[in-house]
Amino acid sequence: MLSALEPAFKKVAEVSSVPFPGVAFDNAAEDFDPDLVVVDVTYLDESIVRPLITHRFVACKPMVVYLSDQRQAWIDDLAAVESGPLEDASVAGLAKLVSGSGLRVVAER
């Protein structure tokens, strides 16, 4: 999943890929102010991981996506304080979360 996500994300955002848990994750959590955090929970207990991730990023309020190997995903929007299943867990769908809306202000009146 990482090999597919990283190139797609790098087109629209600054990317930092680190393993969780570990020193690299702790350093990234302290030094990086992310808009989106993607966590592969395929081999992790999501009920344990979600509170740990939320606690680490609650101050910067990113969207946190938890992916599993079945391509199922759950999203916690810490800014909006909303959680729920993510319908489009494809690489393109996740890249849209990073890039946001394709709309831009061209002229302001």
* pTM given for the model: 0.81
- Which pairing describes strands 36-40 and 63-67: parallel, antiparallel, or unpaired? parallel
Tell me how far apart the alpha carbons of residues 78 and 101 are, in angstroms, rounded to a whole number: 18
Tell me how far apart the alpha carbons of residues 99 and 101 are, in angstroms, rounded to a whole number: 7
Q: Which ranges of the chain does DSSP label H, i.e. alpha helix?
A: 2-10, 23-31, 46-57, 91-99
Per-residue pLDDT of 51-86, as tens digits, reads 999 999 999 999 999 998 777 899 999 999 999 999
Query: What are the residues facing 82 on neighbouring strands?
Result: 77
Tell me how far apart the alpha carbons of residues 85 and 81 are, in angstroms, rounded to a whole number: 14
Per-residue pLDDT of 4-46, as tens digits, reads 788 888 888 888 888 888 999 899 888 888 889 999 898 888 8
When pLDDT is cut at 50, 70 and 90, the band that residue 105 belongs to is very low
Name which of 28, 94, 90, 29 is nearest 65 in CA terms: 94
27 phi, psi to nearest 5 deg = -65, -45
- Is the confidence at residue 98, as pLDDT, over 90? no
